[in-house]
Each structure stands twice: as C-alpha cells, then as structure tokens.
Structure 1
C-alpha cells in the first residue's frame, strides 16, 4: 500500500470516528464540565445550532446564540467551536452565572486558518488547524505557572485529544505523539510505541483507541482502577468511546448498547443501570460522570454520583448527533431527518462505525393540540411530531414506491417494460428516493466517469453485468455495474436484465452496514441499466488469494479478520435486515477489500428475501464450487446455503486453493472442501495450510485451528448440521482475539 493511500485511509477513518468517540476532552456535540456537574449540548431543530447547558435543576442559555459545530468540557469550564471553525469560545462554569447564562470568552478568531478537533483537558484547550494539521493549545498551567505547551508546529496531526495535564494526537503516519506538563503523556507514548492507530481518546490518565489495521480496541496509561482492562473476548465489538478518571466506556457496534469497565464504572453502577434495549448515538465522560445521547429520541442521559448513580434524562430537548455540514456525506450517507435536525442549514453525516442502521423513531402525537399563539413546550412537541411525521411519511412513501416499481416491472410483460411511458414512470418513481446514497445519475455522467466505458476501466463482472471503475466530477472513485445492452455480442433478455436490476436495486437500497458494499446511485435511461457502488481499491479476496502473489495477506491475523468482516456482513443480512435476505452467491470474488483491507460483501443480483423453505426455485443460482449441495438437489434456498459458501471461503483462506482446482499433476478437478476437510479431520491441518502465510506460534495455532474447525462444520452436506451465522461470527471473534496481540502480528 502506498504512503498516499495509507494517509487517505487514515483520513477517512478519522472522519468516521471523529463525531462518536468522546473522552474527558474530545470534540462532540455533548460536553461535561465535570467539576461543576454542568452538561451541555448543541440543540437540534433550531434556527441556529446553539448551546444549552444543564446544572442542578436549571437549564442555562449560552451566549452568543449562534451555531456551533463542536463542544468539549474540562474541569470547571467548557469551550465551543463555531460552525466553520473560525472562532473558539470558552465559558467558566465555577464563577456563577447571571440571567441564567454563562459569559463567553473568545480565545481564537481567524477566517484564514479555521480549526477542528477541539480537545479540552482538565485545564488546557487544544485544537487542530485544518490547513496545516498543527495542534495549538491555550490555557492550563503547572505548579510553576507556565502555560500548557503546544507541540512542534511542524507535526502534522490527523486528530488530537486531551486528558489531565497532557494531550495526544495521531500523526499522518498513524503513530501517536503526546505532550504536556506531566509525565503521563510520555508514559502513554512509550507504551504505544510504534503501534498504528486509527483513533485515540483520552481520560484523566489513560487513553484508548482502535488500531489502524484491524480495529482492535487498546488502552494504555495508568491502570490503578482496571480502566485499561478491555474484555479480551470483545476487543473488536466496540466503536464509540468515553473515558473518565477510573473507568472506560464504549458503545457496542452491533446494538448501540453501552459497556463499561474499571472501578469508576462499578461505583456509578453504570452496567447495572443500563437497559440493554436502549442504544446510544454517542457517549462522553467527565471525571466521574458519563452521559450519552439516546438513539430513540436524541436526548441526553447521564450517570453521576450527584444523581445517586441512577441514570437521569436531562431536560435539554433534542441534541444533534453530529455537526451540521454543507459538504457531501457520500462516504457514509446522511443521518436520518438531518434536514429537520439542522433546520435546513445543512446535513449531518452518518457514523460509519455503527453496524446497524439506527434512525430516530417518530414520537407519539399528543392527544390535544396547543394554542397557536402559545410558545409552550406542547407547541414545540407538536411541531417536532409533525416534522418527523412528514419526513417519515415521505421516506416510507419513497421506499414503498421503489419496491412497488421493481415488483411491477418484474411482473409485467416484456413489451410493457420497454414502452416509453413506462420508462418515464419508472424514472419518476426512482427519483422519489430520499437517500443520498441512491443518487440518480444520467448516462452521460457515467460515460464521462468511465471514459465511455473503456476496456481500460473494466475491473470485473457481476451477476448483473460488467463492472467499470469510474471517477465522478467531484473526484469520488466509484464502481459502475452496467447491464448488457442490445449492442453487446451476448444480448441479455431485456426482461431478465430488468429483473436483475430490480433485484439488486431493491435489495441494496434497504441495506446499511459497514461490511456491505454501499450504493452510491443508479441510472435507468433508454435500454441502459446501471448501478453505482463505492469503489473498493484493494479489489477482491479472490484476486489476492489466487491471482496475485498473496504477500499482502501473509499473516493469519489479517486473513481471520477478513473472514470475520465477511461473516458480520452475512450476519446482518440473515438476522437484522427486514425482511431477512439470503445472498445466494457467497464467494471470494464477492468479498471486496477497501483501502484499509476491511472486507465487505458485494453483488446482490441473486439475493432473495428469505422465503419459506417449501418454496422451490425454478433454477439453481450461484457459482460452481460454492453452491450448497443440499440446495442444488432441492432448489430451496435457506440461510444455511450462505453458510456453506462462507465455509468454502474459509477453506480458501486457510489453504490458498481455489474453490475448484486441479492438483499439481493436472488430475481430475476437485473442490477445496473435498481436498481439505478429510485432511483436517485426520489432524493434517498444517500440511494443507497456505505456505505463503507466516506463522506457527502457539496462539496462531489455536486461532487457525478454530477457523478450520468452523469451516469443516460450515460445509457439512446436511444444512441442519451447519452452524448458524451468529455461531460462526462468535467463533471467528474468539479466533481473532487469540491472534490479535503483538505475537501474531510480529511473526
């Protein structure tokens, strides 16, 4: 991977993590000034994204009442970064307040050098200059009265965070640099060494973050209260973080539930009082206080000793889950109801770290309407309810129209499908889709992006058609899947092409998961049908295993991580998509790798909404070598058919062999399942593993054997004898935990 690509990957990761990982002092839309138990948030649904705070039993208005993009809290003050990053204000919370408002102090102003990454420690304020990446710090002092230092201005940071008396940041090469007036920063930097990090957040005397290559959560610094002791069986489960003095909390990727460890968490009874059915968009912490933004209504819930360690919902109303921005959110899409939450001033980009597509549900309508001339809370609730109802109704109508459009097209005759009137109707219906990830492209735009679909831009083929690499006018690289046209040598039946287009479009538009390749848009013009996806720069798993030298996948750690990524994508399809989906073509060429070698499942042209097991298909779909033998005979698709395909992929990862291959003597073709399962069962695993992979240490042996054991069960002839996808994910998580320490990465 080139250095430029590494830098790009880190930038994307830092953007993904920036608005959901909050420490003692990191940028967010919720902040805690913990010395005075003051909690602040940036309001949603207002003309401006102004700040409101809560202390004791009072709601405090903050001046100036203008839009802010981020806030961060310290011991007895908090600071806010104005939208655009050109102005930085701070408010003291221990000096009292008059007229129910803290008094602002502006500590930075520049229209030429805007800031980002606001990071308030216990006494210091730091931020990062967008143009140069240098970190600048203000305030704070040590015992001899010197101000908190700024790091070397030549250092180019991707992100920064602040703790008690120290600050740390991730440089462009993904290593960590710390600075400050005490020794904790240098201790943390020494403990992290040359470990490459994708994110970093600070508590009072410790930091935690996700590693760059495989997203493992690691914590360094002081461990006097067990705050560094990440549960070993769940190191890959977390995304958003919040660190206090003696505790660490994280949001689980799969369900948004908060999990905590350390003595401070026990004292606050956080785990005991967290309802496992309540999910959070983000969390932030003070010294001995934790607050989170609830997914279901975007209100703030806090745990603190002042509240007798019981969770309390603060009366601050709805808080935005991220900054309102004018820029495109094409990478991860727009947060639901952004137009309302930002009051038309921009959009909120969705977090890329959440596994499930969370959305704010519609609040219940009040039983009685408020006085039109009143400014009471009831009136605000009615407005909010009406806004959500309208937005939700439009979204539901758009989704319904899309599905009905494709169902209608797939059932109508060939002649009606090709009429001009019907074509126009189809385009009009598709244009109703209110989802930025489903942009309607013109054929001309896509032709320009691919140099008129030149052979040089061809990168593969899927069940629906040929795939081309394209570059949009804004510089975004995409993968464009084009159905065959009437001018092609092999002309596809128009109805079959329409069916494939409908199948893939209606499937992908309902999906949102970081282990599934995301859709950017579509084009339906004349007889052309095109689907536009995010571009995966590292190609397919099949290419790396079979068409290249495989040196980029030369550790068991990365191979097992790829297997886990793919399994999580399939788990989403089987267990969380509504209705559940059977992919029907799981294979190594449909597992694509992004710039950071995160694996994503692709190609949904053969996917089906899960059908009753008595429903027989007219023809067998899939690819030779991956087709479930039980399905081949019965023509009945089940979730266990995908499990079989995943089992074959696991065997490919273990052996380096293709799904169907001839041995070195050029004999009769055999499947990798025939080749490997019997030998593994005889205890000959290490005779069949891919010799290109470095390995052999004890923990690697255990991890690889667990993967092999799982693969053997996945390819059982009888579907009922195969594990469920949830069991497979659990086994692979255990394997990656065994193989995630420095021993596995260094062999």
Structure 2
C-alpha cells in the first residue's frame, strides 16, 4: 500500500511538471481553399463599433462567392477543397459549413451543435476538432471513427490522418496514411502541424521535427509556429520572421523576407501570414499571389482568450474587448541567428531564463498541481459514490473499474457491459415483431447528420427526427442524447441507455394497431437509435394546444382519438405478456397517423407490470409533471392504475382545451385536475368545455358529459377507485356510439367495478 502511494505521488509530480509546458493551440482566424484552379482566402475582421468578428472572403481569380449573414459572428474558421467552415461566436458550440465551386455556392449547413470546440483544423478533405473535455471529434470523414481515440489539447489534420497533441506534449497520429501514422517522434512537443502527406512538430525547446513524405531537408533553428502544405512548408522563427522550404526550391518571396508575422496558415500550395505591423494579410505560393502586395487589410490576428500563457499582443484588447486578449505565440528559449535559408534580422533577445519566465513557470506548476489534486478529490468521491449507489429501475450499464477517460470506448472494449448483454439477448430472442438493424451511416445521410432541420420533437431518451430512407420509407428516428463521460453525467447516460433498451424490449414484442410500430434500431458505439413508422399528423398535444385549424374540432373526433389511445394502453395492461406499465401517458405521447388513427408512443419509461392486479412495484417516481399519479409519487408504488390516472388527465385536456399544467387569468400555475373536476362533479361541464370546438348538440352533450364523468373516475386519488383500461375502452366506445346514434347514457354506467 505504501509503495502504491509513493508511485501515485511521483506520477502527480511528473504530471504537474509536464502540465507546465505552454501549448500553442487555438482557433484560426484565416483559412485557405484551393478549388478548380481557384484559391479562396478568408479571414475574420472586426467592423468598426462592433464587438464581433465577421467573415470576409476573396477569390483568386474571381469566381467564388460566399454569401454570409452580415450579422453572423465567428470565433474561428477552417477550409479545404470546396468547403469553408466557421465556428459561431461567442460559444464556439455551433459550426456551419459552405460547400462551393466556381459555378455555385450552396447555402450554409450546420454540421455541429454541441460541446464547445476549443481547437479546430481542416485538411484538404476532413475536419477535426477538440471539444471542452479534450475529446476528438471529426466531420466529413465517414470511414473514420473518432470515439475512443484519446484526449488531446490540439489537433492537426492532413490527408486521411489526424495528429493530436496530448496535455503532456505527446504526439499521436491516427488514420490510414501509414507514412505518418506510427512514425511519430518521441518526446515532448508544444506545436503540431499537418501537411498533405507529412507532419511537423516543435519541441519544448523550440526545435523542429518532421515525418512522413518529406521532399527536402528541414531547416535548423528555433521556431514558434508552423504552416504545412502539400509538398512545401513554412515556419515562423522565434524572432517572428518566416522561413519556407520544399519541392522545386520553394522559398519565401523576396518582397516578404524580413517582414514580421504574428501567425501563418497553409493549404496545399498557398501560404498566408498576418503581418505584425498592420495586421494585413499577405499570401504567397502561386503566380497570382506572389505578385499581389496585400490580400486583406486589418484582419483579426488570432482568437480572443481570457488566459494567455506567454503574453498578449499589443492593442489586442482593443480588438477583443475588456477582459480578453489575443495571445502571443510561446517563444521559449532563444538561439543564435538561424542558418541562411532566409536571413532574418538579428534578435535582441538574450539566451537563458529570465525572471518573468521563471515566475510564469512557478505559477503554472503550482496552479497545475492544485488542479490535479482537485480532480483527484472529485475522482475519489465519484468512485466512492459509485460503489454504494444503485439505480432502482435501470441498473448499472457499465462495468466497474473504468476511469472516466476511457469511458467513450468502454462499450466496445468492456467484457461485456450489461447494456450489450441485454441488447444481445433481446436481438437473439427471435420472438415478437421482426426488427431491422439499420447502419448508422444510412441514418446519418437520411437526417443530414441529425440536423436541426430534420428535428420534429423529443422523447424519453433523446430527440426525434423525420427522414426518408433510400427505399422511400418515411420514418421517425429517435436518437439518444450523447453526454461526454464525466462523473456528473454518467447517471444520465445510464438512464438514456436504460430507456433505449426498455423501449426496444417493449416494442419488439408488441404488435397492435394503436401502438406506434418499431421498424428497427441502430446500436453503434455511443449511438443509440430507434427507427419507427412516421406519424404524419403529429401529436395530440399539438392539435389540442398549438394548431389553430385541425380536424379534431368535433367532439366525435376527439372521443374517437381517446378510444384509440385507450385500446393501445389496454393492450399493454391486459394482452401483453408480461403486462407493461407505460409510466408516461400524456397528450404528446399520443400520435396521429395519416388516417387520424391514434397510437401510443414513447416506451422509454415502461416497466413490466406485476401479474397480480393487487400487486405493485416499489420504484422512485418517474413520468411527467401534471400527468403523474399522486399515489405513485407519494407511496412509490406503481400499478396499472398509474397509467389510468395519466389517461384521465389526457381526457380532461381533450374536454377543456387546457394543458395539464397551465396558468390562470392571473398568471398563476394551475393543474387541470384541480380546475376542471369540480365543474364536472357539479354537472356544469358546459362551463369548462374547449371553446375552440363548436358547442355539443343535445345528443353530443350526453356523450361529452359521460366522458367527463369517466375522466373524474380516472383521476381518483386512490388507485383502487379508478376503472381499469378495459372498462375505460368500453365506456368510451359507448360514448362514441352516443355521438353517432344518440343512445341514452347515465353516469352510473361509468363507475368503476374494481
């Protein structure tokens, strides 16, 4: 035990030392794209009197037009062959992309909306970034799976490979380019950059290492920044001048030698740099650009940040605003003048560590050590809590002993997780309804990467999207929410997984005309997706509370919808083996198909019911506020009568037009049960009927009152006083017949016989 403690202490000391290494990683404010013999160069600029960075692009020769909302603000941009992408500011959690050619530019599409992206890079074809939890995410790279790759502080993207720099300065490359992947240099680095088929990195002492398909010998000296193209490269010396090398004796144009730059960017044959003197953008690499003095004037030289390890640029607070600045590149240790590839002016720096650098090092190390100790404390608390806490109705879905850092890949590597066991058992049962397993790529293409344009709602464990498959089928796709794995969101992820399996288990063995039909599923790494028949006419909730014009503007139509839904719930309670308690009956979970048949949906909270009607399940409350059975909530005892209560609330909604929880004329929240039931009990139902529906005829008023009495019975405080779903179905059928054939009804026929 003592030896383990010493090893742990040594590990923390080493980790705190490496965490003091300053890393050059951030978002780029300049992008380059070569497409169809045209070069599109874009940069972020700051308009006068606005705290926003807007996108400005120019094409050489002219021909490519990018149409940008003038009010849109961006925090970073990247580009490649035929595309340009920008991170919207200030959150950096939304990324939009334009596809373009010399003949057309398509409207921008959102390809990411989620965790904020703190580092972003693009190769000729692919885009990758690092989010706030240091996880790698990639786009436009179908054959590459970024889950489980590891944690990175920054990334660099080449052609079919991506290299990441870890928090302790270790480089790792992944992808299919074997000239780069597996050839990474060993050591600690502060900068990594990728070209078309090669990569380079700057070590913690500012020396340069390159690997992959390298055409010529790299320069020697001390560097602070890199920009790599297809068969050529450039680097920023520690004294802020540029040196270039590559095929056919590529070098920096003579007109730019001696110019001081803040940052440089590259794509294939073209390079650009932001000049230190006036923040103008100069570019070189082809005949057109080599002959042009300046491309853009006064561009933003870098992203704004609240913390800078190596100092801030002069006047950057004027660009960014109060409290944030543009960071200077970390120069590290200086050296004598570099070799004569492109002679820079003599540096006035002195070698060695000065007092300011020592102070930065001490403060950084102390702060890093404090952060590590704090993380260890929370990790200890998390592990301790996980050892003693259990979820009542969903169970643990991951194996113990896995650290949060490895969670994204545990569904593939664990041996085997409970979720995989349940899913494997379910698929192998061979009974019930046939389920199709859909490829994730098919669903991504059908929903345009689950874009907001396809989103139509939300369910118990995620969002719902409308899509048309390749075979022409129109479907609804429910995708589980994906949370980054930390001690604080694992419980939510477990709940989502449990809801996914519950719904899959329930619908895979159910087949009824009043239950939404499950077509299949997709279980791919961290993705949990269910595919249903598409219900063209939406939810009952929409028709009651949102739509101004709807066919449900007659009492017969509403009673018919209620009867359909009741038959679906009755099937769950009576005919399913074993019986199923839905636990989340509400108007938004009753859907309408193209012929206005109602079907019950969303079985994410459903549970197997006790066979004996007098029995119950002891569980923590789950459901939707306003619909939840107060007996279930108060006593945590679940029976089929809990669904009956929820259905009674739906009936009251349909009668009154009020939401389950709504505000009265004074703006005070009110429950539909508390408001409507007293009127029905006093035989004054006409005072609370939905005014959007024409007043009932003398024959309809009997049926409507009959449904009102039934609803009152359903929302009795004690479950034993509520009717069964079979009784509800029979009573609603009689009410519907009354609307159509005018028989006489009495309240006594609605009373429960339980």
TM over 0.5: no
Q: Which has the higher contact order (CA 8 A, sep 6+)?
A: 1
Which has more radius of gyration? 2
